[in-house]
Structure 1
Amino acid sequence: MKLEVCNVSVAIGGTPILHDVSLDVAPGEFVGLIGPNGSGKSTLLRTIYRSVRPSGGTVLLGGADVWSLSARTAARRTAAVLQNSPTPPGLTVHEVAALGRTPHKGMFDRETAADREIVVDSLERTGMLGYAERIYGSLSGGERQRVLLARALVQEPELLVLDEPTNHLDIRARFELLELVHTVGVTTLAVLHDLDLAARSCDRLTVLDSGRVVATGPVLDALTPEVLSDVFGVTAVTERHQDGIVRVTYGARPLARAS
């Protein structure tokens, strides 16, 4: 399902946060949203999953304005994996994942065999089926992130939005999680802070700075030495190596000189 963000502006408490932001994510594509702290990345995600209403512009999913949908329909179509997602620690892994069926159920509906099959399939895809009866609060950070991704997949969404999904994870867990996201085949927009991880993991990148899009496109086109210097304040180059992987290489003196 295609995501289109068209000239979106957001102001919170009278303070402008986003200014005419436009981007798109093609069906099945994994796009990284990067930028320095305070650039508006998380605010943009919140606008897409209907937590913050834009003051201008539209967010279209499959051509439909997400803000014209009912809350239930929007929740069925978009799943979000957020930093510090509030999850009762006393629930089992299966129970946490099963929460993803909530948008598909009425108030008095019970879990069906079909629901259980979807939960089992999502836990299996994320490598967490063997942990189904473990208490969620007893898991490591990487394991919890996998469970939250499983819960998102249980929603059967058309769009997946991730806000710093690799935050606080060790390097192996970061690679494993983003590789897993690639395999699920759902249209994905992810906020990432690790530039090297974003460069090697994403199909395309969109760079935000001070609430505006300053670069977008394939990794080598979006993450140029000029963008790295002007936006992130570092001296670096982005290159595709012989193994096909795009990597960010920082200079011996990585801090860009102030002009």
Structure 2
Amino acid sequence: MRLRVHDVSVKLGGVPILRDASLAAEAGEVVGLVGPNGSGKSTLLRTVYRSLRPDSGGIRLGGHDVWAWPARTAARQIAAVLQDDTTPATMTVAEVVELGRTPHHGLFDRNGPGDRAVVREAMSRAGVLALAGRRFGSLSGGERQRAQLARALAQEPCLLILDEPTNHLDIKARFELLDLVRDLGTTTLAVMHELDLAARVCDSLVVLHGGRVAAAGPVLEALTPQVLRRVFGVHARAARDPDGIIRITYAARPLAGDRLTPQR
């Protein structure tokens, strides 16, 4: 489903955090939000999954204003996998994934055969079916991320939100998770901390700097040498290798775009 964010602005404590931020994600695309720390990435993400109401601007999913939906409707359409997870360690993986069916039921409804089939399929797609009986607290970081992704898939969302999904994962777990996200075919908006991984997995990027969109578009159009130096402060270039993978190459010397003045 198509996502459109139009001129979103946010102030926190009277301080502007986002200024007229816009982005677009077509159905099935993976769009990455990248930028230095404090650039507004997570704030923009929060406005999309309705954790933070913007002061101005609009967010539409499939042509519908997401902030006009009742909370339950929004939860059926948008699923988020966040860093500040509060899942009880004593829950089993199956119980965690079953939480994804909550928006589809009334207060006293229980999961039926159809729900159980959806949960099983979600665990299978996320590669955690064999872990169904394990306690969440006993899982590795990569396994926890997969379990949370399975919970999100059980919601059957039109839009998947990921907040630094590879944070604290080892390199193998990172690639496994990103390959899974690529293969889902679900419209995805993800905050990505590592540019190299963002360049590999995303169809397009939105580069934030100082609360504004500094560049947006396909990876090679968004990560020009000028943007990499101006926004990230490094000498680098992005290019597509013969194998089709976009890679970022950093200059040998100097690495930083602006050298620090020595202290006296």
Q: Following TM superposition, where does structure 1 have runs of at least 4 consecutive aligned residues deviating by more than 2 angstroms?
A: none
Any idea what SS the aligned residue of 1:80 has? strand
1:239 aligned counterpart, secondary structure: strand
- 1:15-54 equivalences under 5 Å are 15-54=15-54
Q: Which amino acid aligns with 2:248?
A: V
Alignment partner, residue 232 of structure 2: 232
Question: How far apart in 2 are the matches of 1:258 and 1:16?
Answer: 29
Paired with 1:64 and 1:24, the residues of 2 have a C-alpha distance of 14
Q: Which residue of 1 aligns with 2:163?
A: 163
Render the CA deviation track for 1:130-161: whole Å, top value 9, x for unaligned: 00001111000000000000000000000001
Find the aligned partners of 1:214 and 1:74 in 2 and give their Cα distance. Answer: 29
Secondary structure of the residue that 2:177 maps to in structure 1? helix
Determine the structure 2 residue equivalent to 1:12: 12
Quote how far apart the aligned CAs of 1:258 are. Answer: 4.8
| Distance in 1 of aligned mates of 2:127 and 2:163 | 21
TM-score by length of 1: 0.99
For the residues of structure 1 that align with 2:29 and 2:55, how far apart are their CA atoms? Answer: 27
Instruction: Answer yes or no: is 1:151 the counterpart of 2:135.
Output: no
Counterpart of 2:110, as a letter, is R
Separation (CA, whole Å) in 1 of partners of 2:57 and 2:38: 21
CA-to-partner distance for each residue in 1:178-202, whole Å, 9 max, x for gaps? 1101111110000001000001111
2: CA distance, partners of 1:139 / 1:177: 15
Letter in 1 for 2:36: P
**Matched AA of 1:257:** D
Structure 1 Cα separation of the partners of residues 227 and 172 of structure 2: 28
Q: What's the TM-score once normalised by structure 2's chain length? A: 0.97
Which residue number corresponds to residue 67 of structure 1?
Answer: 67
Q: Distance in 2 between matches of 1:95 and 1:137?
A: 13
CA RMSD of aligned residues (A): 0.9
Map 1:179-218 → 2, pairs under 5 A: 179-218=179-218
Distance in 2 between residues matched to 1:101 and 1:123, nearest whole Å: 13
Identity among equivalent pairs (%) = 63
Q: Determine helix, strand or coil for the equivalent of 1:108.
A: coil
Deviation at 1:257, TM superposition (A): 2.1
Give the secondary-structure state (helix, strand or coil) at the position aligned to 2:232: coil
Instruction: List alignment gaps of at least 5 residues for structure 1.
Output: none
Aligned to 1:255: 256
Shift of 1:13: 1.3
Structure 1 residue 84, shift from structure 2 partner: 2.5
1:87 aligns with 87
CA distance in 1: counterparts of 2:110 and 2:195, whole angstroms: 44
User: Matches of 2:259 and 2:73 in 1, distance apart?
Assistant: 48
Distance 1:258 1:157 in 2: 46
In the TM superposition, residue 111 of structure 1 has moved relative to its aligned partner by 1.2
Deviation, structure 1 residue 168: 0.2
